Amino acid sequence: MSTPQARRKTRTDAERNRDRVLEAARALFAESGYDVQMSEVARVAGVGIGTLYRKFPTREALIEAIAEHRAADIIAAARRLTEADDPAQGLARFLHHVGEVLSDDRGMSEVVEKAMGSSEPREETREALLAIAAELIERAQARGTVGHGVTTADVNMIICGLAAVIRNAAGDWRRYIEVALDGLRPR
Amino acid sequence: MSTPQARRKTRTDAERNRDRVLEAARALFAESGYDVQMSEVARVAGVGIGTLYRKFPTREALIEAIAEHRAADIIAAARRLTEADDPAQGLARFLHHVGEVLSDDRGMSEVVEKAMGSSEPREETREALLAIAAELIERAQARGTVGHGVTTADVNMIICGLAAVIRNAAGDWRRYIEVALDGLRPR
DNA sequence: CATAATATGGAATGCGGAATCCGGATTCCG
DNA sequence: CGGAATCCGGATTCCGCATTCCATATTATG
């Protein structure tokens, strides 16, 4: 059951290649979304397809590895913004941060749009983001800068819409956020 | 240029089959979006794949035929709503109508989300919808029920987001519309 | 160094699904 | 009716991609 101790250290070239693959995949996914071909990833990484598959046994595994990593970044950065004094402003910054990330990463905008819909409680990224939103909303409501009917479900939809607007280049997403936030103000 | 007159009337069974195909495709697309297989469409239509392809030489042709038809319906209905007295209410009804249609038709929600992004001026559906919105906005602004900064671009984004919210079941889309409309009110 | 342990590349394979082809069935027209 | 014009069905071809395999190359270890 336990790992065989008599194992050699992983070869250094293997490790180097793993990094290359991750790097290439991250770039390609950000550039054109997750419908990039595995062979393309390998080519850009300067690696054979076989190697790519040794590192990530499945296309999905590769995508997941990267999306997870990216998501963690978003969440961490967002959590930092929570600590600002003005919670309403915090919410604004939070959304702008998400927008900033998504507009630089097509792949993420695809993932986020879908993730905000998945009703599975297992969707950690969404849970984390909404947890942050929950705190901000509550604090803002206490100050009367956000309406009382507002819930995380609202933020959920707003983010889902935001992802769509960005992904389809449907307009100025900053303006979209402005409108949405105005919509959350107390009546 | 003109049709060869010496041509027989199109066979009645051919016409019947065409209708069946359209009907089946409409139902399937509404049910599960446009990623349905051609063979499935044929099966449901009670028709061979060959026949399906004679009517619509390409998967895309089939999709287009149906989407176009559906879009025309949306536009016509929406235009009717424009004639209401209160333009702000008209805008609300307009969005609700779009929501109603999209939530009953997965395929359309896919199409609309993309269509609102396409920057091609050729996108007739978008143009038509935004034309309706333009009139409502203008009238509402005159009455002071909608903010002055508001443009059709805003409505464009809102619809794009709406489609995404519905498509991903990200929450209660009626509430989404409420929030968005509140966001368009004068400050 | 020698050699076992690992890693590599990329041709070959498998597969899902769109689109084509054509022998046979139907329908129209005089 | 008869037979020419049309249409049908669905097996088959094609194609794009993910994934696998393995002969060869590289690295760690003693």
Q: Is B92 on the interface with A (CB under 8 A)?
A: no
Q: Is the CB of A50 under 7 A from strand D?
A: yes
Q: How far is B129 from chain A (nearest CA, A)?
A: 14
Please report the pLDDT score of residue B127 as a whole number.
Answer: 92
- Which one is the CATH code of B11-57: 3.30.70.2860, 3.40.50.1110, 3.90.420.10, 1.10.10.60? 1.10.10.60
User: In whole numbers, what is the pLDDT of chain A averaged over residues?
Assistant: 93
Question: What's the CA gap between B3 and B7, in Å, rounded?
Answer: 9
Mean pLDDT calculated for residue range B29-48: 97
User: For residue A52, is pLDDT > 80?
Assistant: yes
Average pLDDT over residues A55-78: 94
Instruction: Answer yes or no: is pLDDT of A75 > 90.
Output: yes
A181 touches chain B (CB under 8 A): yes
Does B113 sit within 8 Å of A164, measured CB to CB? Answer: yes
Instruction: Kindly calculate the radius of gyration of chain B based on its CA atoms and give it in whole angstroms.
Output: 20
The pLDDT tens digits for B89-143 are 999 999 999 999 999 999 999 999 999 987 776 688 899 999 999 999 999 999 9
Q: How many angstroms separate the CA of residue B175 from the nearest CA in chain A? A: 8
pLDDT at A6: 53
**Where residue B4 falls among pLDDT bands split at 50, 70, 90?**
very low
For B111, which DSSP code?
H
Amino acid at A127: E
Residue A103 makes CB contacts below 8 A (sequence gap 6+) with: A109, A166, A173
Confidence band for B82, pLDDT divided at 50, 70 and 90:
confident
Query: Is B85's pLDDT higher than 90?
Result: no
Residue B6 has pLDDT above 80, yes or no: no
Task: From chain A, pick out residues whose CB is under 8 angstroms from the CB of B160.
Answer: 161, 164-165, 168, 170-171
- What single letter denotes the amino acid at residue A121? P
pLDDT-wise least confident of A1-10, A15-24, A138-147, B97-106: A1-10
Distance CA B168, CA B55 (A): 32
Residue of B111, B146, B165, B181 best to disrupt the A interface, most CBs of A under 10 A: B165
CB contacts < 8 Å between A and B, how many? Answer: 113
Residue A2, pLDDT score: 40
Residue with nearest Cα to nucleotide C7 C1':
A14
Instruction: Name the residue with higher pLDDT: A121 or B79.
Output: B79
- Digit-coded pLDDT (tens) for B10-29: 899 999 999 999 999 999 99
Q: Which two tokens stand for residue B177?
A: 């519309």
Phi-psi region of A120 (alpha: psi -120 to 50; beta: other; left: phi over 0): beta
Is any atom of strand D within 7 angstroms of residue A2's beta carbon? no
Mean pLDDT of the region B143-163 = 97
- CATH classification (class only), B67-184: mainly alpha
Evaluate if the CB of A8 falls below 7 Å from strand D.
yes
Which of B116, B175, B187 lies at the smallest CB-CB distance from A170?
A: B116
Cβ within 8 Å of residue B114, ≥6 positions away: A168
Whether A186 has its CB under 8 Å from any CB of chain B: the answer is no
Q: Which residues of A touch B170 (CB under 8 A)?
A: 116-117, 156-157, 160
C1'-nearest nucleotide to the CA of B16:
D7
| A22 has a pLDDT exceeding 50 | yes
Q: Read off the pLDDT of each residue in A86-97 and give the average, rounded to a whole number.
A: 95
**Per-residue confidence at B5, pLDDT binned at 50, 70, 90?**
very low
A7 CB closer than 7 A to any strand D atom = no
Alpha-carbon gap, residue B76 to B94, rounded angstroms: 11
Identity of residue A5: Q
pLDDT at A5 exceeding the cut of 90: no
Strands (E), chain B: none
Distance CA A78, CA A62 (A): 25
Strand D: which positions are within 7 A of a protein CB? 5-11, 17-22, 26-29
DSSP B3: P
The H-assigned helical ranges of chain B are: 12-32, 38-45, 49-55, 59-82, 87-103, 106-115, 124-143, 152-167, 173-184
Whether the CB-CB separation of B91 and B140 falls below 8 Å is answered with yes
What percent of chain B lies above the pLDDT cut of 70? 95
Measured in angstroms, the CA of B121 and the nearest CA of chain A are apart by 13
Tell me what the mean pLDDT of segment A61-76 comes to. 94
Domain A64-184 has CATH 1.10.357.10: yes
Mean predicted lDDT score pLDDT of chain B? 93
Give residue B79's region: left, alpha or beta (phi > 0; psi -120 to 50): alpha
Please report the DSSP string for A28-83 in residue order. Answer: HHHHH-S---HHHHHHHHT--HHHHHHHSSSHHHHHHHHHHHHHHHHHHHHHHHHT
Q: What is the DSSP string of A150-177?
A: --HHHHHHHHHHHHHHHHTT-S-HHHHH
Read off the pLDDT of residues A110-164 as tens digits, 9 standing for 90 and up: 999 999 987 776 688 899 999 999 999 999 999 999 999 999 999 999 999 999 9
Pull the structure tokens for residue B74.
């949306």
> How far is Cα B22 from Cα A39, in angstroms, rounded to an integer?
38
Measure the CA–CA gap between A89 and A145, rounded to whole angstroms: 9
B11-57 and B67-184 share one fold = no
Please name the nucleotide lying closest to A42, CA to C1'.
C9
pLDDT surpasses 80 at A8: no
Domain at A10-57, CATH class: mainly alpha
Q: Return the pLDDT at B122.
A: 64
Task: Name the protein residue, with chain letter, whose CA is nearest the C1' of C26.
Answer: B13
Domain boundaries, chain A: 10-57, 64-184
Any residues with CB less than 8 A from the CB of A162 and at least 6 apart, and which? A95, A98, A99, A102, A173, A176, A177, A180, B161
Three-point CA angle A47, A51, A55, nearest 5°:
120
Distance in angstroms: CA A59, C1' C11: 20
Q: What was the pLDDT predicted at B7?
A: 61
For residue A9, what pLDDT band results from cuts at 50, 70 and 90? confident
Chain B contact for A174, CB < 8 A? Answer: no
